[in-house]
Amino acid sequence: MELYLFIGVTVFWIIYYVFEGSHDGVFAKETKLLRDEIDPEKFEKIKPNFIKLELDWHYYDTLEKALTKIVIALLLFIITQNLIFSFQMLLLSGGIRSIMHDLVVALKLNKGFKHIGPDFLWWDRFLRKMQARGINQYIIKLFPNIILIIWIIIAL
């Protein structure tokens, strides 16, 4: 049964993050449209508030996604009575997000595989530093996922 849950929940998270990435991509386009129409001098005046609101938006989005991940992991535990498997699937949900969400946002913005989000987010700053050192962000994101998937398959 855990194999079917592994496959089903993995597909669920992939689809979920395609939708979330599409949502965030459209939101980013809307934000860019507004920024492009605002006089640069006026934008500089509101930039600190703009960044604060963006960080608040990301914070609440993180809480929402964390709640969803935890509830699904708890449901998996109730179904399987396997704490390790539930934990593995919780980790995988975050790993899938790191790839699918960012990839879909980049594609939605027509920026390709090298696009990295705003520099005021710590994770995106880290990815930029690694990219400057020649390490592709998807290598950073794929490696832990591959290790995790191998661990899950071995444990099944």
CA distances from 2 to 102, 134, 156 (A): 28, 38, 7
Average pLDDT for residues 2-8, to the nearest whole number? 94
Better-predicted residue by pLDDT, 155 or 121: 155
Q: How far apart are CA 119 and CA 146, in angstroms?
A: 27
Predicted local confidence at residue 142, as pLDDT: 93
In this prediction, what percent of the chain has a pLDDT beyond 90? 53
Better-predicted residue by pLDDT, 89 or 25: 89
- Per-residue pLDDT of 36-46, as tens digits, reads 888 888 888 88
Predicted local confidence at residue 81, as pLDDT: 96
